[in-house]
Amino acid sequence: MSDQFASPVKPLIDTRPDAFGGRPHLPSLGLTNPNDPPWGVSQALLIWVISIALLFIVPLLAILPYVLYRVLSYGSVEGLGTDANLIFISIISVLPAHVLTFLTVWFLVTNKGRRSFWETLGWSWPENFGLGKTIGLAVGLFLLGGLITWLFGGSETQLDQIINSSLKARFATAFLAAATGPLVEELIYRGVLYSALQRAMGMVWAVVVVSVLFAGVHVLQYYKNLGVIAVIVILSVSLTLVRAFTGSLLPSFVMHLIFNGIQALYLVLQPFVGKPAVEKKAVVSFVIHNLSRLIS
């Protein structure tokens, strides 16, 4: 028999493990399952660690030239902790950190472009949880958070000090909270981390671990205010539960976007509308005032 008839037939689907040792992606057959991702827990945790490291390293590199300028110009670092320009640079440098984080997530999720990014993450509306429910739940969480911070009060947080340092710092914080923060955080926590953890340890423990990790990275910002920390925990659990029960990442992202977007709008408008007298404040006014602390 001729050798041309002895050649093995190539399978229609490449079932070999990808570069990360995970399962192959089958986009042409519509078999993508966000709860069975082509990456494991170790890869997910590595991406999480990288995202945290970038939030420290990139701002540090960004402020170094300004620190050197101050030292060379004034001969000391006195007053740097309250320098409005330094604070603004450290805030706006979070933007390139978010961009690098997004690219890192893209590299993992797509295996360098070999898979569909949004499809693999489950970026779609589930049949039983549409835009109306998403908006309603986000607004409900916003009001609940305001009520909690009003009832428990608390000291001024690190984020309060940053926001009040200058108008440009306030606007930069509002921009990051609405434009890039929700997307990057949802990709990391409810996208990459949750999907790998729920496959390895089940839904309940995945919800617990993701919620703890999400709240934990915000503790340094809000450690002086237990009410704000409680709201962050409630928000994290709610977003993760929505991801768990819908099997989709899009509703969690939209909820996070609305929650942060309302806060960002208030931050932008606050300097121009003034503050009402304390004795005339209604409950809703308290809600809006205290939620300016919760950019997450």
State CA 247 to chain mean position distance. 18
**H or E element, residue 264:** helix 250-273
pLDDT exceeding 70 applies to what percent of the chain?
80
Q: H/E/C letters for each residue in 80-112?
A: HHHCHHHHHHHHHCHHHHHHHHHHHHHHHHHCC
**Hey, what are 101's tokens?**
């984080």
Provide the mean pLDDT of the chain.
Answer: 82
pTM over 0.85, yes/no: no
pLDDT, greater one: 249 or 218: 249
Beta strands per DSSP E along 16-75: none
The predicted pLDDT at position 31 comes to 52
Contact 224, 59 (CB under 8 A): no
Per-residue pLDDT of 131-147, as tens digits, reads 999 999 999 999 999 89
Per-residue pLDDT of 21-42, as tens digits, reads 444 444 433 457 899 999 999 9
Residue with tokens 């709610």: 238
For the chain, the domains span 36-293
**Hey, what are 269's tokens?**
């408008």
